[in-house]
Chains A and B, each alone.
Chain A
Amino acid sequence: MQVIVNISLKEGVLDPQGLAIARSLNDLGFQEVDGIRVGKRIVLEVDETDEARLHQRVAKMCETLLSNTVIEDYDIDIPDGQ
């Protein structure tokens, strides 16, 4: 099954990349942009059909390697209709 992991910086962690992109958008005339946080999206193909077990295993992957929980949060999405 396909699993999508979204990794984002925790609140309060400075995101200089997001600040630079927001500044650039403002300079390009998109004055309405007040802030940007940049994250990562990881798409996994996993050999597992049981959704609960899949979720549990992917959460373990996030804790073990995919995210650094000192500064990052993760969110696991298993798209419907697979």
Chain B
Amino acid sequence: MMSLTSMRIAILVFPGSNCDRDMMVAIERLTGRRPSLVWHKESSLDSIDLAIIPGGFSFGDYLRCGALAARAPVIDAVLDHAARGGAIMGVCNGFQILLETGLLPGVLVKNAGLKYICRNVTVDVCDTIDSPFTQNLETGTRLTMPVAHNEGNYFVDEDKLARLNDNGQIAFRYTDGSAHGPANPNGSSLNIAGIVSANGRVMGMMPHPERAISPELGGSDGATLLQGCLEALAS
């Protein structure tokens, strides 16, 4: 087993990314090693154990959220990494970008209430296929983390939605918790807050684990989630 300190993690940075540094701090606190920040114009990624696409408003959300970032030079390297079975995590805008690349199915459309939502939500960890992103979290564990998005309403056609559900690719679902407001903040199909790819190696989620890494920040459930992922990837 590799130690967490020896893990090589890259966080991609696009013009308009704004959670890259929060993610860097979160990962460094958990692993003891600072991940590298990789500018979107890089066309290769050094050999890495995990690529993280952070939240933000890459390219100003122009055209569609994540559309322009998904065609940036660094994405070719991300696709190669994925083709080798490499692990990739996308949070919020990172999730939108992963959908635009086609590494994950579906699309995130405008919130059903048409409002930008910035508040805590609670999600249930679902029973999934074998995936480093869920294997260390017990099914049914409730995690409270903030969301901050205008387009988090997961949509895919009915057949694909049924397949995601049947294959165990739904990783996190919005559920009732201590947070104010309805459990499902944005109208997302099947209360989806996060999904994994068919091989379990790519995960996208709307809530921000990197913003919930200590009680001083309102909670540390995000650290629980990230720690579980990192330990699974290191084992």
Contact = CB atoms under 8 A, between A and B. Distances in A.
A68 B105 CA distance: 12
Contacts, number: 39
Contact size range, A: 10 to 19
B114 A14 contact: no
Contact of A68 (B67, B112, B113, B187): B67
A21 to B, nearest CB: 10
A33 interface: no
Interface string B35-75: 00000000000000000000000000001100110010000
B116 to A, nearest CB: 13
B162 interface: no
Contact of B64 (A12, A20, A68): A68
Interface of B: 63-64, 67-68, 71, 99-100, 105-107, 109-114, 153, 155-157, 187
A70 B107 contact: yes
A64 B67 CA distance: 10
A14 B111 CA distance: 10
Contacts of B112: 14, 16
A64 B64 CA distance: 13
Contacts of B110: 16-17
A65 interface: yes
Contact of A70 (B113, B114, B156): B156
A66 interface: yes
A65 B64 CA distance: 10
Top 7 closest pairs, chain A to chain B, by CB: A70-B107, A71-B107, A16-B114, A16-B110, A16-B112, A20-B114, A68-B64
Contact of B109 (A20, A64, A66, A71): A71
A13 interface: yes
26 contacts: A12-B157, A13-B109, A13-B155, A14-B109, A14-B153, A14-B187, A16-B109, A16-B110, A16-B112, A16-B114, A16-B153, A17-B114, A20-B114, A64-B71, A65-B67, A65-B68, A65-B71, A68-B67, A68-B100, A68-B107, A70-B99, A70-B106, A70-B107, A70-B155, A70-B157, A71-B109
Contacts of A71: 107, 109, 155
A64 B156 CA distance: 19
A68 B68 CA distance: 12
A65 B155 contact: no
Contacts of B106: 70
Interface in A8-25: 12-14, 16-17, 20
